[in-house]
Amino acid sequence: MKIYSFIIRYILILLAGLGNLYVIYQIFTPLTINATGLILSIFTQTTIEEAIITFKCTAIEIIPACVAGSAYYLLLILNLATPNIKLLQRIKILLFTFTSLFILNILRIVLLTAINHSIFFNAIHLIFWYFISVAFVAGLWILSIKIFKISSIPIYTDIRELCRIIKKK
């Protein structure tokens, strides 16, 4: 039974990555654009046209990198590459990590729009891009391990189990 779980989990990882993360971007791009526009509309008149949010004579475009599809995919990989998690708990972990990342990402975009005309914008944007985004994913995974009491290690536990099964035969 463990081998079937292994195969299904890794096939799902591969399928989710097909088409340059097409499914992830199809889900999270409109959510990111609309949520960002909604929050900005609390403070100023805002219009949304496709991926461009306009406010106060400023236009920002939500490009794929802003959506952070690869961060969602990494959280999905960590989730699915971790064995010994029941389906309901796996779904709860995914909902927790995806929702948390979504909220953090929207807050990041709103913060960056607030300092859009600052001389520090490029530096802060790059800090988010290279460091804080990694910290978001790592922090969410570590928090998930603690909250959901995960004891398996992604990929490593699977490899160890596969080696054990091969040695048995």
Summarised one tens digit per residue, pLDDT across range 79-88 is 999 999 999 9
Query: What domain count does the chain have?
Result: 1
Which tokens in the block code for residue 28? 């999270």
- Residue range of the domain that includes 60: 2-168
Computed over every residue of the chain, the mean pLDDT equals 93
| pLDDT value at residue 1 | 60
pLDDT tier at 165, thresholds 50, 70, 90: confident
pLDDT value of position 143: 97
This prediction's pTM: 0.92
The Cα–Cα gap between 9 and 4 comes to 8
16-72, pLDDT tens digit by residue? 999 999 999 999 999 999 999 999 999 999 999 999 999 888 899 999 999 999 999
